[in-house]
Amino acid sequence: MSAHSDKEKGKPRAAPRPPADPERRAAILTAAQNSFAQKGFHRTTMREVARQAGLAEGTLYNHFENKDALLLGLFQALGEQTRADLTLPTDAPPRQALKAVLAAPLRALAQDNFALFRVVVSEALVRPELGQRFAALLFEQAPPELGGTPPLPALPTLQALMTGLALHQALRHADPTPDPDALADAWSEQVLALLLPEPQEAS
Partner DNA sequence: TATGAATGAGGGTTCATTCAT
Partner DNA sequence: GATGAATGAACCCTCATTCAT
Contacts with a copy of itself by CB under 8 A lie at 1-2, 4, 12, 14-15, 27, 39-43, 54, 118-119, 121-128, 131-132, 134-135, 138-139, 153-154, 156-158, 160-168, 170-173, 187, 190-191, 193-195
- Interface region with DNA, contact rule CB under 7 A, candidates 51-59, 125-133, 149-157, 191-199: 51-59
Euclidean distance between CA atoms 200 and 202, whole angstroms: 6
Rounded to whole angstroms, the Cα distance separating 188 from 169 reads: 15
In the bound complex, what is the minimum distance in angstroms from residue 139's beta carbon to a copy of itself? 6
* Close Cβ partners of 175 (under 8 Å, ≥ 6 residues apart): 114
CB 171 within 8 A of CB 98: no
Distance from C-alpha of 1 to C-alpha of 79, rounded to nearest angstrom: 41
CA–CA distance, 125 with 2 (Å, rounded to integer): 45
Stretch that binds DNA, among 63-71, 91-99, 135-143, 169-177 (CB under 7 A): 63-71
Smallest distance from the beta carbon of 168 to a copy of itself, in angstroms? 5
Residue closer to a copy of itself, measured from CB, 40 or 89? 40
25 binds, among a copy of itself, DNA, none (CB under 5 to 8 A by kind): none
Backbone angles phi, psi at 5, to 5 degrees: 55, 50
- Which span (55-63, 94-102, 167-175, 176-184) binds DNA, by CB under 7 A? 55-63
